[in-house]
Every structure is written in C-alpha cells, then in structure tokens.
C-alpha cells in the first residue's frame, strides 16, 4: 500500500515537472516573439545556434550535454528525470510554440505590444520554472551550475552565483549577435519574485 502511494506520488511529481517544462518552453517562445531579448541562457543558445547554423533545439541538447558532464561530476544529487526532460525537450517545445505563433501571425509590432508580450512571458516562464523545479525530480544542467557553485563557495549567497552565470550568458549572447534587451533584464532580475509566488500558491499546493 505504501509502495503504491509512493509510486503514485512520484508519477504526480513527474507530471507536474513535465507540465512545468512545457510552460517553460512556451514562456521562452513568448520572450523570443517579443524581440526584446530572452533570458540570458536561452538568448545565448539562440545566438550561438544561429551563428554556427544549427537548429536551436539541437544546439541546446549539445550544450546541455556538455554542462551535464559538469553536473555529473560535481552535482550528481541534482540529476533526475527532470534533468533529462529539460535538457532534451525544452528546445523542441520552444520551437513548436514559436512556429505556431508565427503561423498565427502573432508577432507584435508596436513597442507597447512587445512590452505586454514580455510581461506575459514573465508570468508563463515563472509558472513553468516553479512547476518544473518544485518537485525534487532533477534540475536542468544550466540551473545546476549556480547551485553547485553555491555549495562549493557557501560564503557567497546563491543569488550572486546565479547572477554570475546569467551575466556570462548575456555577454556571450551580445557578442554572438543576439538580442540583449528588456526581456533579458526582466528575466535576470524579475523572475525570482514571481517564481516564489507560484511556488507558494500553485506548485506546493499541487504537490
């Protein structure tokens, strides 16, 4: 009986994690639609993928595999089914939703429309991050970097480790010809409070 309950609970966590990753892919595609910049990591991957002429989703998997090696060596406890799902599928979710938006001619033209799209991207992405991270079933390779760094150098708060990894991605994105703008800034500094809100009012209650 206990084993069945544990199994059902694990399946529930995995379903919530998968939904979170789908929403995360939707959120990233909305940011991209705004043309005001993505979160630093996604923006960097998009810029580098375009520079080397490899589809975004495929390039994301390649980069995630490289980061996964670091995670495997220094943060094995952070690896789970959620790691695999995020590393291998989010890029395809982004590609699917962005293609759908283009087919529906939803690309905003006016600045105020782009700003609204960025705000929508913040809400959707924050909910996605909350749902994907709250169930303890594995952290994405890139997200694990700042956690690993915080454990290795505990005197420095996690916030600054995350800011460092995001800043490096933003710089690479800029020099690779990507867009660093309002969406980038909002993602780097503004997602936290929204993610925390969804943690308390949605994700934890679902679990």
Model-wide pTM > 0.85: yes
Q: Residue 114: count other Cβ atoms within 10 Å of its Cβ.
A: 19
Q: Residue 58: count other Cβ atoms within 10 Å of its Cβ.
A: 13
pLDDT of 2 reads: 45
pLDDT of 6 reads: 55
- Tokens 């905003």 found at: 108
Q: How many CA atoms lie within 13 A of 153 on its CB side?
A: 10
- Tokens 């980038």 found at: 184
Contact 185, 60 (CB under 8 A): no
Q: How many CA atoms lie within 13 A of 157 on its CB side?
A: 3
Q: How many CA atoms lie within 13 A of 65 on its CB side?
A: 7
pLDDT at 14 over 60: yes
Residue 63 pLDDT level (bands cut at 50, 70, 90): very high
Give residue-wise pLDDT tens across range 91-138. 999 999 999 999 999 999 999 999 999 999 999 999 999 999 988 899
Shortest CA distance to 125 belongs to which of 184, 200, 59? 184
pLDDT of 1 reads: 52
Whole-angstrom CA distances from 139 to 11, 58, 71, 179 are 17, 20, 10, 26
What are the CB-based long-range contacts (under 8 Å, 24+) for 158-166?
A: 163/188, 165/40, 165/41, 166/39, 166/40, 166/41
Residue 4 pLDDT level (bands cut at 50, 70, 90): low
Q: What percent of the chain has pLDDT over 70?
A: 97
pLDDT of 191 reads: 83
Contact 106, 4 (CB under 8 A): no
Whole-angstrom CA distances from 78 to 27, 43, 149, 162 are 23, 24, 13, 16
Residue 7 pLDDT level (bands cut at 50, 70, 90): confident
Task: Tell me what the mean pLDDT of segment 165-193 comes to.
Answer: 91
Give residue-wise pLDDT tens across range 148-164. 999 999 999 888 998 99
Give residue-wise pLDDT tens across range 186-204. 888 888 888 888 988 998 8
pLDDT at 179 over 60: yes
Contact 148, 78 (CB under 8 A): yes
- Give the helix ranges, DSSP H, for the chain: 2-34, 40-52, 56-74, 81-103, 111-133, 141-152, 158-175, 182-198, 204-206
């Amino acid at each position: 009986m206990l084993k069945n309950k544990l199994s059902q609970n694990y399946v529930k966590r995995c379903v919530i994690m998968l939904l979170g990753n789908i929403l995360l892919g939707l959120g990233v595609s909305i940011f991209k639609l705004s043309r005001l910049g993505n979160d630093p990591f996604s923006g960097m991957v998009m810029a580098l993928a375009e520079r080397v002429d490899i589809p975004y989703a495929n390039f994301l998997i390649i980069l995630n595999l490289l980061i996964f090696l670091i995670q495997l060596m220094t943060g094995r406890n952070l690896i789970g089914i959620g790691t695999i799902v995020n590393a291998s599928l989010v890029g395809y979710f982004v590609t699917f939703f962005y293609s759908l938006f283009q087919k529906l001619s939803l690309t905003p033209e006016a600045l105020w429309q782009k700003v609204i799209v960025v705000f929508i991207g913040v809400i959707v992405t924050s909910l996605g991050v909350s749902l994907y991270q709250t169930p303890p079933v594995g952290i994405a390779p890139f997200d694990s970097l700042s956690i690993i760094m915080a454990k290795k150098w505990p005197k420095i708060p996690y916030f600054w480790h995350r800011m460092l990894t995001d800043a490096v991605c933003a710089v690479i994105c800029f020099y690779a010809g990507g867009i660093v703008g309002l969406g980038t800034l909002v993602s780097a500094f503004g997602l936290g409070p929204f993610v925390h809100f969804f943690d308390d009012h949605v994700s934890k209650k679902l679990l």
